[in-house]
Chain A
């Protein structure tokens, strides 16, 4: 019984716990449904890690695991980048990630670990390197008997989605750092309702990841919390739009404090803060 297998067991236990709560809200599962944990990986040094992939569908499914590239736009959207348009750093990132297996067939309810590690070359410049690992179900070949056209005079369409998720795999090589500042917080009215808008500027060679909390002096709980907010090194400035309830929008007036902190499970260190009057 090695440490790794025990740790894997503990991870599976966490997944099973997550599954049991999740199944209450999603009673109908299709072939290819999936769960992935954790949702981001930071590798620094030679130690590898594991990602758990679980089949939460109702049938056996085969999943393909691959490496893709995404770049963040100023609005926070992740845009796919084809490999022929990769920068040198993106190519280096694709080349240094080792992972296995690349294809997994799982019965319903079954999890499996995907092991991964980074092997940076000896001459690699210090910096942050990133790929996005994709987990996608391969659709089963359809049975021919399904296809008999019921109406021979018309045209019918069967366009099947092949769906999956991607999560960032970040390699920090050498010393990297970043500074972030929060600018121009304001409440804006959009078609989708009121939103908190602000701009975050970033400098340095590292990404940041954390939660944005808006607090008001004298009010115990934060008025707004946006979790899992990432700013990647390709961006010097990122616009953030957070949907608000009308109660939240009404309370966001006067002197407010905006804090961008690392996620609580990562230590909760303060990355940036600003006190600003809104409204």
Chain B
């Protein structure tokens, strides 16, 4: 008896499901006619990583790579060579809208490739992340804007030679 009732209930459920799908078909005609145009937000990285070039270490020092690509290496305990690079981002979205750029506020550790995590001679830190935009806010004039990112590298006196790797977060926030 219980089984029959369940079966019956399932049959009704199936019928109502069929009925609903017919109704849904009727709905789609209207839905297609009024298809909404969605505003989109797009973020591209058009140019590589934050790269301070190659550095020969004579002693502890700090190096600031500005968001505009300028790095002052004069009168430092390090010798700079090679090209520097700033990541270049392109934001596309609502014309005339202001968006917030959020960069790390804490320092980021980089570890030497092949080095030991937690060893100071194998660890570099980057902090004071900056963007090319005043107040880290950019207006999408014409629906688009670009910005670049810079930072400050802290080098220890006994830094092991090699390539140091790390990641940092860049977030473009829509309000």
Contact = CB atoms under 8 A, between A and B. Distances in A.
Interface of A: 1-3, 6-7, 10-11, 13-15, 18, 22, 25-26, 28-30, 32-40, 52, 56-57, 70, 72, 75-80, 132, 134, 136, 139, 142, 147, 149, 151-168, 191-192, 211, 225-230, 232, 242-243, 265
B89 A163 contact: yes
Contact of A164 (B36, B43, B52, B90): B43
Interface-central residue, B42, B82, B110, B161, by most chain A CB under 10 Å = B42
B134 interface: yes
A201 B141 CA distance: 25
B27 to A, nearest CB: 5
Contact of B174 (A14, A34, A40, A162): A40
A38 B39 contact: yes
Contacts of B21: 2
A18 B40 contact: yes
A159 B38 contact: no
18 contacts: A14-B40, A15-B40, A79-B102, A80-B102, A136-B171, A147-B113, A147-B165, A149-B113, A155-B55, A156-B55, A156-B82, A157-B52, A158-B110, A161-B168, A162-B168, A163-B45, A164-B43, A166-B173
B138 to A, nearest CB: 10
B95 interface: yes
Given A155-B54, A157-B124, A228-B175, A78 B163 contact: no
A120 to B, nearest CB: 23
A228 B96 contact: yes
Contacts of A151: 54, 161
Interface residues of B, number: 76
Interface in B116-175: 124, 126, 134-137, 139, 141, 144, 149, 151, 153, 155, 159, 161-175
Given A35-B42, A158-B49, 9 more contacts: A33-B42, A38-B40, A56-B44, A76-B98, A77-B136, A160-B166, A227-B94, A227-B97, A243-B139
A226 B44 contact: no
Contacts of B171: 80, 134, 136, 163-166
A242 B137 CA distance: 11
B174 A155 contact: no
B41 interface: yes
Contacts of A57: 44
B41 A35 contact: yes
Given A155-B155, A230-B175, A161 B45 contact: yes
A155 B94 contact: no
A190 to B, nearest CB: 8
B24 interface: yes
A239 to B, nearest CB: 11
A154 B24 contact: no
Contacts of A165: 41, 43, 171-174
B50 interface: yes
B44 to A, nearest CB: 4
Interface-central residue, A151, A155, A156, by most chain B CB under 10 Å = A155
B6 interface: no
A147 to B, nearest CB: 4
B93 interface: yes
Interface in B67-118: 81-82, 87, 89-90, 92-98, 100, 102, 108, 110, 113-114
